[in-house]
Amino acid sequence: MEKYEKNDMSQEMKRKISEHPCYSGEAQHKFGRLHLAVAPKCNIECNYCDRKFDCVNESRPGVTSVVLSPKDALAWTDQVLAQHPFIHVVGIAGPGDPLANEETFETFRLIREKYPDLTLCVSTNGLMLEDRFSDLLKYNVETLTVTMNSMDPDIQMQIVDHIVYNKKHYHGREAAEILIEKQISGIQKAVDAGLAVKINTVLIPGINDNHILDMAQKFHDMGVYIMNIMPLINQAKFKDRRPPTDAERNTLQNACLPYVKQMKHCRQCRSDAYGLLGQDLSLLSKTRGDELRSASKAKRTPQLIDLSGDVKSSGSAELKHENMPAKNALK
């Protein structure tokens, strides 16, 4: 592991990484993470993304039982940390894109004020990373994941349907070019500022599989800390595509390993997951939720991009199941 670490990484950052379950294979068994689902809107549309459905047993990215307000997210954090002191990382990973939602920054502000020693973590598609980077620094967000599936616009345009940037929508190659440019400049900015950057790359056979090794080499040059090659979950516009086999993913991870450290233990978690990676407590708690929902008036409101250029709601189905935060979360 040391061979990947930049010499200038501080002792404090090394300690934080050693307690982050996604950055360290050893940490996953001892330390947990709490995801706060405060960010429903997204500013791009990936062809594999489906944030519309939720099921009590469903565990995949983009799924949450309720969208929390920043205030409720703080109350929920208070309760989870009190009950589970092995959680040292609080992150925002959707269900949409954290940097497309002001609630993300307000949540970080509230949490940082109360918990100066927690590691704050965020996961983004990177479109707004450069533009909102100073806001992340303000709250001392130290670990950052950027999903980057291609550096080649001809490949990227097969994965992303469209983007919305500065209230304008872009399609096709132009959208892909803007997104790639913003991702690269944002990642470099974050690495240069000393953040531990992780890259998520969704492996989509027949689209980006032959390109991922090239990306790993570039990530090495850029100073990325770790790469997480995730298997495609075939859904949404990619429902008929074939996910990779474990062997295909393994082979690719091993090929990339000389260039950038590989995360091999990703669980493709929900946006409201908490606990150890291998034991998501949000899935184990089946008798909770009504109190939180009535107290917070929280509804499930996944939001998609409207082609007029606004980021808007696509529905407001109230959640029916009970799979959500604990009793007395909001006293």
Ligand X SMILES: C[S@@+](CC[C@H](N)C(=O)[O-])C[C@H]1O[C@@H](n2cnc3c(N)ncnc32)[C@H](O)[C@@H]1O
Residue 80 in the binding site for ligand SF4 (CB under 6 A):
no
Of residues 219-258, those binding ligand SF4 (CB under 6 A) = 228
* Residues 6+ positions from 255 with CB-CB distance below 8 Å: 213, 216
Structure tokens at 270: 């929900």
Q: Supply the minimum distance, in Å, between the C-beta of residue 94 and ligand X.
A: 3
Select 54 or 330, whichever has its Cβ closest to ligand X: 54
- 265 vs 262: CA distance, rounded Å: 9
Whole-angstrom Cα Rg for the chain: 19
* Residues 6+ positions from 63 with CB-CB distance below 8 Å: 51, 53, 54, 55, 95, 270, 271, 272
Residue type, 174: E
Stretch that binds ligand SF4, among 37-45, 108-116, 133-141, 246-254 (CB under 6 A): 37-45
3-state secondary structure labels for all residues of 41-88: CCCEEECCCCCCCCCCCCCCCCCCCCCCCHHHHHHHHHHHHHHCCCEE
Residue whose pair of structure tokens reads 């090495």 in the numeric block: 220
Residue 269 in the binding site for ligand SF4 (CB under 6 A):
yes
* Residues 6+ positions from 213 with CB-CB distance below 8 Å: 252, 255, 256, 259
Q: Supply the minimum distance, in Å, between the C-beta of residue 202 and ligand X.
A: 4
Query: Which of the listed partners (ligand X, ligand SF4, none) does 47 bind, with a CB threshold of 5 to 8 Å by partner kind?
Result: none
Q: How many CB atoms lie within 10 A of CB 175?
A: 23
Query: Which of the listed partners (ligand SF4, ligand X, none) does 323 bind, with a CB threshold of 5 to 8 Å by partner kind?
Result: none
Q: Supply the minimum distance, in Å, between the C-beta of residue 320 and ligand X.
A: 21
Residue 215 in the binding site for ligand SF4 (CB under 6 A):
no
- 50 vs 135: CA distance, rounded Å: 28
- 90 vs 276: CA distance, rounded Å: 12
Select 179 or 330, whichever has its Cβ closest to ligand X: 179
Residue 97 in the binding site for ligand SF4 (CB under 6 A):
yes
Q: Supply the minimum distance, in Å, between the C-beta of residue 123 and ligand X.
A: 4
Query: Which of the listed partners (ligand X, ligand SF4, none) does 33 bind, with a CB threshold of 5 to 8 Å by partner kind?
Result: ligand SF4
Select 159 or 324, whichever has its Cβ closest to ligand X: 159
Residues of this chain that bind ligand X (CB under 6 A): 42, 48-49, 61-62, 93-94, 96-97, 123-125, 147, 200, 202, 230, 232-233, 235
Of residues 111-150, those binding ligand SF4 (CB under 6 A) = 125
Site residues for ligand SF4 per CB under 6 A? 22, 33, 42, 44-46, 49, 62, 94, 96-97, 125, 228, 266-269, 277
